[in-house]
Amino acid sequence: MRRRFNGAGLLLAAAAAVYLAAAWLSRPGFYDGFAPPPDSYRWVQPPAGVTSNGQKPLPGQAVLAVSSDHSRVAGGTVATGDQPPQAEVVIQPGALVAPNLDTVSVELTPQAAAGRPADALVVGNLYCLTSSVSLTQGEQLQLILRYSDQLPGANAVYRYDDETRSWVELRAVRNPKAATVTAAVPALGCYAPAAHSIATTSSGATVVVGNRWLPYVAAGTILLVLFAGLPLYLRLRRDGRSRSKS
């Protein structure tokens, strides 16, 4: 009898261990059921499998002053109107070519990404950085992009060239706590956050490598363990009743 109880205990312990491991590795929302909460990220066009929050992303614009002798454009920051901003650009003084005007404008416009890089998954909107003037040769701007909380965390920034329909990767620094990725961009243009943690099946389908499906796998494993232990439980209960009658 003791061995039987030990067997049932081991099954329950295994189920509990699987559940705790899944809860530890999964993002917040595991305990809310199997329907993921809406993404806090504002999408132009959410990808398949992402629950949209129904809010459209906002653009950003800034007006920078030009020195009185028209030799230098002031520095500043351009951020989208989302809270927190989904895209932000830090411009150093003199980074933009000074025109024969009093001010210059800089805009950030969200767009839906046209496809994706061959070796990465786009995990946010494509943000196009434009200005009434060009970037000074040799200068760079600091671009900060926020990414979706329902997809793998971004570890790269890609520039999209609409003419050649190609993607170019830039070196980037990830901040998991803020869910942002930062890169120095050498030109105006369109940029998107991306994650390298993807794989492609033989049929060409994209598979996200991460813990997104872990709660489902864990739940299935727990049910399997419990169903496997059910016959043992019923047998122990039947034996207990037989002994009580005798």
Express each pLDDT in 159-180 by its tens digit: 999 889 999 999 999 999 999 9
* Residues whose CB falls within 8 Å of the CB of residue 169, separated by 6 or more in sequence, listed in order: 117, 120, 156, 157, 158, 194
Nearest C-alpha neighbor of 106 from the set 86, 126, 78, 85: 78
H/E element, 200: strand 198-200
Type of residue found at 24: W
Which of the pair, 214 or 201, is modelled with greater confidence?
A: 214
Dump pLDDT digits (tens) for 130-147.
999 999 999 999 999 999
Q: What is the pLDDT of residue 205?
A: 41
Type of residue found at 186: P
Query: How far is residue 165's CA from residue 24's CA, in Å, rounded to a whole number?
Result: 40
Q: What tokens were used for 203?
A: 């049929």
Q: What is the pLDDT of residue 114?
A: 85
Arithmetic mean of pLDDT over the chain: 81
Question: In the CATH hierarchy, which top-level class contains the domain 60-207?
Answer: mainly beta
